[in-house]
Amino acid sequence: MDEDFRDEMHKELARIPLGIAPRFDLACVGTSLTGLGAFSFDALACLLSAEVVYCYPPTPKHFELMQQINKNAINVHETLYVRGSDFDPTYNAIVDEVMRTVRNGKKVAYAVQGSPAFHCGTAIRLHRIAKREGFSSVLISGISSFELLSAELSVRYDIGSIQLYSIVKLMKGTLAIDVRVPCLLFDVGRYALPAVRETANAFLPSNLAALAERLSSIYSPDHEIFLMFVHYDGCRTFKTNPADLANALTNFTPGVTIFLPPMQPRASE
């Protein structure tokens, strides 16, 4: 049945010129943020034609589907991206493993949820390393959380210009927020969790307190903050403020994005 499934998909893709996979040694492929519910033709073509697929399935059922697409799929959650592992060593191990497979002459697809070019450091590192070493490498875009959040926010806010910042860099002091411009802060989990794939109840209280203090020093304590999470049935939003941010985050999810509306100028006296 597996072979029949793949053969039918190959036949369908062959009828669609846009679905012909580009030549590659490494393809960093974006899939649906909510699992495997949405593929571009290019992404599916790359997954079908790869000799090895590294993927991050959110559930066993998603992994079963990926195995239907390519029987040589590897579940990185079970091999390298294991809950409780340290962040940087884990990311380094993933890059080393994928590049080792590429160097051994295998045609590799590295599949991530969302877009490999948006807040996915391992995909960007792999793409740059492969290019630098003379391998052919392509980035196949997926729908990132930025597109989904932008669609949600554009109903109420002018996001023609918007700040997109990693909380990790914000807290290191390498960038500054302009309170006159809408701002999206990503990487809550990377900043506040002690290890890979932990849940929100493992957030480090000291990190959350430091983030709340930093935002309170930039915005007024009662300034509206929206915690946003892209879910399979849409975008979920929760309103809070800098003073209550630390507590609110513990009741959300590590995948949350923080949206800061522009601070309104005070009326002149």
pLDDT given for residue 208 in this prediction: 96
**Where is the domain boundary, 119, 143, 167?**
143
CATH of the domain at 21: 3.40.1010.10
Q: Are 14 and 37 members of one domain?
A: yes
Q: Are 183 and 205 members of one domain?
A: yes
Q: Is the pLDDT of residue 18 over 70?
A: no
- From residue 208, how far is each of 71, 86, 185, 215, 226 by CA, in Å? 42, 19, 13, 11, 16
Question: Which helix H or strand E contains 111, and what residues bound it?
Answer: strand 108-113
Q: Are 127 and 239 members of one domain?
A: no
Q: Is the pLDDT of residue 1 over 60?
A: no
* Range name among 44-48, 132-136, 141-145 with the lowest pLDDT average: 141-145
Q: 100 in a domain, yes or no?
A: yes
Q: Read out DSSP for 183-212?
A: EEEE-HHHHH-SSTT--GGG--HHHHHHHH
Q: 16 in a domain, yes or no?
A: yes
Average pLDDT score over residue span 206-213: 96
Q: Are 106 and 121 members of one domain?
A: yes
Mean pLDDT (the chain) is 87
Contact 196, 87 (CB under 8 A): yes
Residue 116: name the closest of 106, 125, 103 by CA: 125
Q: 38 in a domain, yes or no?
A: yes
Q: Is the pLDDT of residue 199 over 70?
A: yes
Tokens of 154: 């554009």
Q: 267 in a domain, yes or no?
A: no
**Where is the domain boundary, 102, 121, 143?**
143
Contact 98, 50 (CB under 8 A): no
Band of residue 158 on the pLDDT scale cut at 50, 70, 90: confident
Q: 269 in a domain, yes or no?
A: no
Q: 266 in a domain, yes or no?
A: no
Tokens of 212: 């709340």
Q: What is the DSSP letter of 118?
A: S
Task: Give CA–CA dist 9/180, Å, rounded.
Answer: 49
Q: Are 124 and 183 members of one domain?
A: no
Q: Which domain holds residue 226?
A: 146-260
Q: Are 74 and 200 members of one domain?
A: no
Q: Are 135 and 153 members of one domain?
A: no
CATH of the domain at 221: 3.30.950.10
Q: Are 129 and 18 members of one domain?
A: yes
Band of residue 37 on the pLDDT scale cut at 50, 70, 90: low
**Where is the domain boundary, 120, 143, 166?**
143
Q: Is 109 left (phi over 0), alpha (psi -120 to 50) or beta?
A: beta
Number of domains in the chain: 2
Say what the pTM is.
Answer: 0.84
